[in-house]
Structure 1
Amino acid sequence: MMQEDDLSLFRDAIKGTKKIKQDTFVPTVQPRKKVSEIRELKEKADTLFYFSDEYEPLLTEENEKVRYRREDIDPYILKQLRRGDFSPELFLDLHGLTREQAKKELASLILACEKERVYCASIMTGYGTRALKYQIPRWLVQHPKVIALHQAPREWGGDAAILILIEQTDRDLIMR
């Protein structure tokens, strides 16, 4: 019937051909890394590359209020940060973390700001032994995406927090 006709047509079409020997190498496919693994590797690389404990930047500390701006940024931005003109969209609480954990979390925050296109973030250092409060600005100024930082105004944490501005690829985002 129909199947037998199709089969005989197929056999007639391939008559005189010879079977091909399969000798091609097919590489085994490596399992893809999960997004979380890739993110973790990127954070670790950023932490190792950008956050050195030995680097001692020239930070302006006025009445123990830390502030910094990159050289190519308008100085007026520090006044805006101090007054609270920028509202942080992401918050990072570093209470109770070790220095290494804090470095990793800072790298994560900066990556999240880039990915989510967040211009302003708040880092809550707390008071405690002041070890992190003292060290965090010194780490942040080493990262090329951090364009400015200032002690947070009272409504965003005051002395126990720092506001940071992260460079975005679109310059239009600065004018938010």
Structure 2
Amino acid sequence: MTTNASNDLDSFLAEMADVKPIETTNTVALNNKNKETLAQKLKRRALEKEIQQDDNGLSVDKVDPVDPHDFLSYKQDGVQEGVFKNLRLGKYQIDTHLMLNHLKFDEARQTLYQTLNDCHERGIRTVLIQHGIGLNSKPFPAFLKSYVNQWLKQIDIVIAYHSALKQHGGLGSVYVLLKKHPNQKLINRERNRKG
């Protein structure tokens, strides 16, 4: 060995003089690398909350496509022709205006369901929903319009809807008529009661 290598070895051995070898055992030391971080925990909770909130039952599966220029029209049995005609002609006061055409698909679905239920709870009967015509929407034209047409039929508080007049958005919008809330029925009964 050269003197330089000998000095390096001596220096190394001097540095390692107080080092003790690791004792061998038959156990495995686990470190908590798999422990969930705060960010992961918050993200998981948000996803769980979203799943719990997304139990609205509005179908995201197969939809029957409608043409962008089709009128949307629906009424439940029992809705009087005069009531439906007034809805179709835009004669009812629009209490709420909901714009879905700039939202992402899932946001539009959740917003539609939540807004209509909130309106029903507050006694609001007429809602104007703007879904857009969707000439260039993907994966097919009138994508959101087709789903709105399907979803409104799946919401039991919706008793009728019809495409709006031109001044309210035309074929890109729809008037929606909601059932009376039981509290509103009671108020009307009291108001009309003869005494």
Asked if TM exceeds 0.5, the reply is yes
- 1:136 paired with 2:148, answer yes
TM-score by length of 1: 0.63
* Residue of structure 2 equivalent to 1:53: 60
* Residue of structure 2 equivalent to 1:110: 116
CA RMSD of the aligned region, Å? Answer: 2.7
* Residue of structure 2 equivalent to 1:161: 173
Counterpart amino acid of residue 94 in structure 1: L
Instruction: Please give the alpha-carbon distance, in whole angstroms, between the structure 1 residues aligned to 2:150 and 2:72.
Output: 10
TM-score by length of 2: 0.57
Task: Please list every run of 5 or more consecutive structure 2 residues that lacks an aligned counterpart in the other structure.
Answer: 1-49, 190-195
Identity of aligned residues (%): 23
Q: For residues 56-91 of structure 1, give each alpha carbon's deviation from its aligned partner in whole angstroms, at most 9, with x where no partner exists.
A: 68x9x9x72110011121133221112111121111
Instruction: Please give the alpha-carbon distance, in whole angstroms, between the structure 2 residues aligned to 1:43 and 1:166.
Output: 22
Instruction: Please give the alpha-carbon distance, in whole angstroms, between the structure 1 residues aligned to 2:53 and 2:157.
Output: 14
* Residue of structure 1 equivalent to 2:97: 91
Flag the 1:42–1:155 CA change in 2: closer, same or farther, 3 A: farther
> 1:71 pairs with 71, 74, 77, which one?
77
* Residue of structure 1 equivalent to 2:126: 120
Flag the 1:110–1:41 CA change in 2: closer, same or farther, 3 A: farther
Contact in 2 for aligned 1:53/1:139 (Cα 8 Å): no
* Residue of structure 2 equivalent to 1:146: 158
Task: Please list every run of 5 or more consecutive structure 1 residues that lacks an aligned counterpart in the other structure.
Answer: 1-39
Flag the 1:140–1:42 CA change in 2: closer, same or farther, 3 A: farther
SS in 1 for 2:60: coil
SS in 1 for 2:54: helix
In terms of fraction of residues, the more strand-rich structure is 1
Work out the number of aligned pairs and report it.
128
Counterpart amino acid of residue 112 in structure 2: L
Contact in 2 for aligned 1:68/1:150 (Cα 8 Å): yes
